[in-house]
Amino acid sequence: MRVSLAQYATLFTLGACEPQGRAHLMIYVGYAASLLVLLTFCMKGMIPLRVVALCSNVAFIAYACGMQLMPIILLHGVLIPINIYRLASAIRERRQSHAEALPHGVSAERVPSRQ
């Protein structure tokens, strides 16, 4: 059976495969999670990158729970503690570098941090 290009395109449009109810909402959650991942690739700073990565992990877990996708739940469940650890390390390194850059005798607690 041959399928024309028009028939093939019709099969894969949103109108032909319109999800219903909760699945419809989960599709948008999945797109939001994917957009957050894309955003992490556009970021320069490590701290904002890790914060957005954590948000994408949470969004992907919400999507995967709604769609019952256990591999995605497991993957992002493992990535959350990794991102938390890396975020804490980046914050610690930033504080150390700010403290080392201060003049002698100035306390790091009195200097506001820049994000």
pLDDT, one tens digit per residue, over 26-84 is 899 999 999 999 999 999 999 999 999 999 999 999 999 999 999 999 999 999 999 99
* Helix orientation angle between 46-67 and 22-41, rounded to the nearest 10 degrees: 160
- The type of residue at 83 is N
Exposed, middle or buried by CB within 10 Å (0-12, 13-18, 19+), for 53?
Answer: buried
Query: Which residue's structure tokens are 């957009």?
Result: 35
Q: What is the widest separation between alpha-carbon atoms in the chain?
A: 81
